[in-house]
Amino acid sequence: MSEHILSIIWLTPLIGMFAVMCLPKENKRLIRYVANGFAVLGMLVTIPLIRGFETANADFQFVERIDWIPTIGAQYYLGVDGFGYIMILLTVVIGWLSIWCGWESIQKRVKEYYAFFLFLQAGMLGVFMVLDVFLFYVFWEIMLVPMYFIIGIWGGERRLYAAIKFFLYTLTGSVLMLLSLLTVYFKHIEQFGAASFALEDLMRVAAFSSADLQFWLFWGFFIALAIKVPMFPFHTWLPDAHTEAPTAGSVILAGILLKMGLYGLVRFAMPLFPAGATAEFTVQAIVVLSIVGIVYGALVSLMQKDWKRLVAYSSVSHLGFCTLGLIALNPNGIAGGMLQGVNHGLSTSLLFLAVGIVYDRRHTRAIADYGGLANRMPVYTVLFAVAMFASAGMPGLNGFIGEFTILRGAFEVNIWWAACAALGIVLGAAYLLWLFQRVMLGPITNPRNEDIKDMNLREILVMAPLVAGCFWIGLYPKPCFEILKAPTAKLVERLDPGYFSRNGLENPLDKYAQSKVATLVKE
């Protein structure tokens, strides 16, 4: 059982999808129960993963490997390390909450809605556990399809435009990525005479290919990932998609889909093309784009009149921090970048859920239509404040830990990077606090908000786990850093061999290797 745990995890939502498709479409209640049941089940099946996962282990765990298309060397090859593990946990939790949060707001075509959501969930989980580059591409692409429908059918007024824009943008990036991975694949055949798409096989190609080639291949990959993240200037699909998607769709987009870009960088792009990732131009370009993204995203957020669009643009700013951390190429930067990805998943999901709650009541997203909500919705105001402070990087909440670690990583490389990025934190606080002031505080300006109802129990319960997560990472981030430590060290050593010994740091990989030897000796 536990040797197939990864397959079980991604297949559970897929089975759920087929189950939902078999139900009669008139019985909306039953459909909701079944879909939510599978979402909860999807979380429960990760328990063996959580119990069995060894944080100190730097290798891939729970590996499953079967031939799929032997002629071209594609395999069904799954496995997780710290990066994948933390993302899978984030996905099952956010996936569950996003399925739950549509309980009342989705009334039309309920059956398809849940079918697409469960399909999406399966695809996302697949991305975070594949170690075969071909299969990775399959999951990466297939996941776009349900998202297209979710935005296009249940979205806001400009949903048609937003849906196809999202799809075309991401598809353009992915086909370039396909070319990159096909090139590295046939270089592998040329070098070793065997067809394979397995990540560790393709990683061996780097030693035999020129820095120039690696540079181009890295960028082929990177553009796809930068569109997904999204980095400035590839971000223009994001405000439309996030704003027009239904609440649950925005939550998934912000919470998980964007993290795929980060994950793709640390799992595939950087290890496959180390010379490309560490090339001076690459580093400079990504740093500049990240900082521009941080500042630009924040400034544009300040200008927004639409509440949801403001949150959407804030993602551009926050994800700029993540990419800045990753490209610092040191342990603090990379661990911070990935952790900030998780943090952003928690806090921005909360913000989108919060917008969704008032939107369900008033069907408007304009900030000017609200004001003084604190008078009528005290619980809501408190939860929103937590989300806001988490997002703004207030100490004691998760955002602070992530941003601080990233800034430390950036500072180690170049003080100016950190200084510019810190400006983003100030601006972040500005647009969030101003938003809070305009919608929550003061007297009720719009008479139609007089009888607005506070959150009901379900809405509170949906937000509660995320709020708890924000506090947990904010107050006790050690477990997360422990999880990220081994894969981060491995990545740093891959990009910059000898980093730890050069800087007089202890390499967590050595410790693990020693313990491995010790157990062997004991046996």
Partner 1 sequence: MDAILFSAADFHVLKPVILLCLFGCGILITDAFLIRNRADRWKNAIPALAAQVAVAASLVQHLGDVRSGGAFSGLNGSMQVDGFAVFFNWLFVLAASLAIVISARYMGAEGEHRGEFYALLLFAQAGMSVMAAGYDLVVLFIGLETMALSFYVLVGFLRDTRRSNEAALKYLILGAFSSGLLAYGFSILYGISGSTNLGEIAKAVAARSEGDLALFLALITCSVGLLFKIAAAPFHMWAPDVYEGAPTPVTAYVSVASKAASFALMLRIFLTAFESAAEAWMPLLGAIALVTMTIGNFAAVTQTNVKRMLAYSSIAHAGYILLGLVAGNETGLRGVAVYLLAYVFMNYGAFALVAALRREGEAAEDIDDFNGLYHRAPGYTILLAIFMLSLTGIPPLAGFYGKYFIFLAILREGYYLVAVFAAIYVAVSAFYYFRLIRACWLLEEGEQQKPAQLDMNFGTRAALVACALLTLLIGIYPQPFIDLAGESVLAALR
- Which stretches of the chain bind partner 1, using CB under 8 A? 68-72, 137-138, 141-142, 144-145, 148-149, 152-153, 159-160, 163-164, 167-168, 171-172, 175-176, 178-179, 182-183, 185-186
What does the radius of gyration of the chain's CA atoms come to, in whole angstroms? Answer: 22
Decide: helix, strand or coil at residue 256: helix
Q: For partner 1, which is the closer residue by CB, 181 or 253?
A: 181
Q: For partner 1, which is the closer residue by CB, 57 or 172?
A: 172
- Say if CB 109 and CB 150 are below 8 A apart: no
CB of 172 vs partner 1, minimal distance in Å: 4
Q: For partner 1, which is the closer residue by CB, 193 or 498?
A: 193
Can you read off the two tokens belonging to residue 463? 């937000």
Q: For partner 1, which is the closer residue by CB, 148 or 215?
A: 148
- Say if CB 381 and CB 373 are below 8 A apart: yes
- The C-alpha atoms of residue 170 and residue 163 are separated, in whole angstroms, by 11
C-alpha count within 13 angstroms, C-beta hemisphere, residue 400: 16
CB of 233 vs partner 1, minimal distance in Å: 17
Q: For partner 1, which is the closer residue by CB, 249 or 508?
A: 249
- Which of 450, 238, 447 lies closest to 352 in space, CA to CA? 238
Query: 61 - beta bridge partners?
Result: 80
CB of 181 vs partner 1, minimal distance in Å: 10
Q: For partner 1, which is the closer residue by CB, 60 or 216?
A: 216
Residue 305 burial by Cβ neighbours in a 10 Å radius (0-12, 13-18, 19+) = exposed
- Which of 200, 207, 205 lies closest to 188 in space, CA to CA? 205
Q: For partner 1, which is the closer residue by CB, 243 or 391?
A: 243
- Say if CB 414 and CB 377 are below 8 A apart: no
Q: For partner 1, which is the closer residue by CB, 140 or 512?
A: 140
- The C-alpha atoms of residue 225 and residue 261 are separated, in whole angstroms, by 4
Q: Give the containing element (helix H, strand E) for 66.
A: strand 61-69
CB of 249 vs partner 1, minimal distance in Å: 14
CB of 231 vs partner 1, minimal distance in Å: 19
CB of 395 vs partner 1, minimal distance in Å: 44
Q: For partner 1, which is the closer residue by CB, 149 or 268?
A: 149
- Say if CB 28 and CB 39 are below 8 A apart: no
CB of 182 vs partner 1, minimal distance in Å: 5
- The C-alpha atoms of residue 306 and residue 56 are separated, in whole angstroms, by 45
Q: For partner 1, which is the closer residue by CB, 233 or 395?
A: 233
CB of 158 vs partner 1, minimal distance in Å: 12
CB of 186 vs partner 1, minimal distance in Å: 5
Phi then psi dihedrals of residue 303, to 5 deg: -85, -10
Decide: helix, strand or coil at residue 44: helix
- Say if CB 401 and CB 473 are below 8 A apart: yes
CB of 73 vs partner 1, minimal distance in Å: 12
Longest dimension (CA), the chain: 76
Q: For partner 1, which is the closer residue by CB, 181 or 455?
A: 181
The CA dihedral of 184, 188, 194, 195, to the nearest 10 degrees, is 0
- Say if CB 477 and CB 403 are below 8 A apart: no
Cis peptide before 465 (omega within 30 of 0): no
Can you read off the two tokens belonging to residue 507? 């390499």
Q: CA angle 286-287-293, nearest 5°?
A: 85
CB of 323 vs partner 1, minimal distance in Å: 23
